[in-house]
Amino acid sequence: MILKILTVAGLATFEIYAAIPIGFAFGLSPWIVFFASVVGGLIGVFVAAFLGDKIRALFHKVKPTEENAKKKHPAIFRLWNKYGIIGLGFLGSFSVGAPISIAVGIGLKADIRKLITWCCIGVVARCIVFTLVGFYGLQLF
């Protein structure tokens, strides 16, 4: 049981879309799936925020610029232009995930504290929505 919970939390660190269905496939309670995915998602936010520069330095020699972020992630750049840091943190967490939103926010020179706050809110909201969808979706069968 502990291994299943750690698997859900570990998957949620990178992608919540995969973690929640796996939790239900393991036969875990919806509450356990929710809390494990929230913990994993929040860990992913903080790892991306505080270790992001070090991880990026391992793979890239040049720090990402606004032009690079615009080319690689045009949808997130549109969110940034239209909704600012709230759109990047909250809506970006829903659409592409919090670690990518944090990475693009660092490239756009966003205030990291505000971005972390909105990404955390987005992760919790995303976990609530997808856990409810998974639970009630399974009730239909």
pLDDT beyond 80 at 28: yes
> Residue range 93-113: average pLDDT?
84
**For the chain, what is the domain count?**
1
Could you list the residue range(s) of the whole structural domain that residue 49 is in? 2-139
Report pLDDT for 101. 86
Minimum mean pLDDT among 58-67, 104-113, 114-123: which range?
A: 58-67
In DSSP notation, 58-83 reads: HH-SS---HHHHHHH-HHHHHHHHHH
Higher pLDDT: 64 or 33? It is 33
Per DSSP, the three-state class of 100 is: helix
Counts for the chain of helices (H) and strands (E), in that order:
8, 0
pLDDT beyond 80 at 114: yes
Q: Which pLDDT band, with edges at 50, 70 and 90, does 27 fall under?
A: very high
> Residue range 104-132: average pLDDT?
90
Do 91 and 79 meet the contact criterion of CB atoms below 8 Å apart?
Answer: yes
- Give the rounded distance of the alpha carbon of 65 from its chain centre: 21
> Residue range 26-53: average pLDDT?
91
Report pLDDT for 60. 62
Report pLDDT for 131. 95
